[in-house]
Structure 1
Amino acid sequence: MAVPPSRLSAIFQIMCGRFAFFSPIPKLANKVGATVPEHASGPRYNVAPGTWITAVRQEEDDSAPLFDTMWWGYRPRWAKGSGNQPINARVETVATNGYFKGAFARHRCLIPADGWYEWVKNTSPKQPHFICRADREPLFFAGIFAERDDGSLGCAVLTEPARGSAADVHDRMPLILDDDSLTHWLAPDITDRETIRRLVGHIDADLIKHWAVSTAVNNPSEGQGEELINPV
């Protein structure tokens, strides 16, 4: 079940809470050395928390990365259904926070996207902006995941202080990994915090671009089409 829109509006004001994903899976699979899945979801221009999303993970040291479906909302099995289901984890504390640190060490994933939405503060109605790479190449958000009570996987997107033009819109942004970091982020044999930080880097801030888009994106139950990312 999706998170009700009434709750979503509060979530979105915190950090990265909505994104678009429409790049072809084969193109992404080639970047991370993953097998193209037999079945893949179609393009989504308004991906909301509390829904099933596409992610990439690696099970064993010598295995190829695989595409999987995860619930956007992180709550590990050991929380026994009583813990929060955050959609984001702050990069500054994810390695030490008791709720996240196990996943940071052993269960890291990539969340493919083509851009994300943030809302300019103090506007009425809230004015969304679409933020992406200036060259429109796909992105990989750094994520963590855990097995949930029902045996499915749930994930959270890591966020960092906003950089480049993204800071015009919001003070946080997803941690977007550069191409050289993708295999290191997925590698299950790399568990040491400092090693991960040494091997993993984010994309150059100069690559980030944004523009205002229609307020139709504000309601995920209504706005889902390709026109959502068009400048207004």
Structure 2
Amino acid sequence: MCGRFALFTPLERLAAQVGASVPDSNLRPRYNVAPGTWIAVMYQASENEQPIIDEMWWGYRPRWAKSTGSQPINARVETVATNAYFKSAFSKHRCLIPADGWYEWIKDSKPKQPHYICRKDREPLFFAGLFAERDDGSMGCAIVTEPGRGRAAEVHDRMPLILDDDSLKHWLAPDITDRETIRSLVRHINANLVEHWAVSTAVNKPAEGQGEELINPA
């Protein structure tokens, strides 16, 4: 799964990688992004429009589910194209969620021991995501996950679906709606690019810890 991440690369640099525009935003560097908050998301509204970076609520719930519907933060890549809750978004409303790294916890550790997972070269990551309009009119999103690979699997059996650079524009393209076409055009990054290390348990309480020291080795 992916339930916490960090984003501190300037939005302008991220936008340049996909030719996106950056509207005025109050988004600032964050080292402990938690679900149920506003996060930076890249999406393309139509084939003829430029991708943009905007804020979305990290919690996916399509309008038709109304306020009583579940609000998942992740969607499994194995079923996202066929699951009734996600399949429309997979076809028409895909997005990218930029991050510099994410956190996972060693199973059964006491206290819960977080690890920070990122690229060895410290380049930013682009998580595959889905979005939908919520019943209150805002946009909500979920991060697509896949089975853990490479060193990330040492910490958790799931990880975000991280797209390689050549896949970014294809994933955003609203005119590409066919499931098999999407699968043929989109690739995840090489698992050998990723590493991890133990960090402070201050990560466990996002309300108390947001500084850059959170990603330092414990």
TM-score, normalized by the shorter chain, greater than 0.5: yes
> What is residue 182 of structure 1 aligned with on the other side?
168
1:85 aligns with 2:71: yes
For residues 1-232 of structure 1, what are the structure 2 equivalents within 5 Å? 15-232=1-218
Asked if the contact 2:18/2:51 (under 8 Å) is kept, the reply is yes
TM-score (normalizing by structure 1): 0.93
* Matched position secondary structure for 2:50: coil
Aligned-residue RMSD, C-alpha: 0.7
How far did 1:26 drift? 1.2
How far did 1:136 drift? 0.3
How far did 1:85 drift? 0.1
Give the letter for the 1:140 counterpart.
Answer: F
Asked if the contact 2:199/2:217 (under 8 Å) is kept, the reply is yes
* Matched position secondary structure for 1:182: helix
CA distance in 2, matches of 1:46, 1:112: 14
Asked if the contact 2:22/2:54 (under 8 Å) is kept, the reply is no
Residues 4-39 of structure 1, C-alpha deviations (whole Å, 9 max, x = no match): xxxxxxxxxxx2100000001111111010113233
CA distance in 1, matches of 2:39, 2:183: 26
The 3 A distance-change label for structure 1 pair 179 and 168 is same
User: Mind listing any 5+ residue stretches in structure 1 that lack a counterpart?
Assistant: 1-14
Give the letter for the 1:208 counterpart.
Answer: V
Give the letter for the 1:133 counterpart.
Answer: R
CA distance in 2, matches of 1:39, 1:191: 30
CA distance in 2, matches of 1:40, 1:110: 19
Asked if the contact 2:152/2:195 (under 8 Å) is kept, the reply is yes
How far did 1:41 drift? 1.0
Asked if the contact 2:25/2:54 (under 8 Å) is kept, the reply is no
* Matched position secondary structure for 2:61: coil
How far did 1:172 drift? 0.2
* Matched position secondary structure for 1:23: coil
CA distance in 2, matches of 1:149, 1:25: 28
* Matched position secondary structure for 2:192: helix
CA distance in 2, matches of 1:45, 1:206: 24
User: Mind listing any 5+ residue stretches in structure 2 that lack a counterpart?
Assistant: none
Moved over 4 A (4+): none
TM-score (normalizing by structure 2): 0.99
Asked if the contact 1:133/1:208 (under 8 Å) is kept, the reply is yes
Give the letter for the 2:108 counterpart.
Answer: N
How many residue pairs match? The answer is: 218
How far did 1:40 drift? 4.5
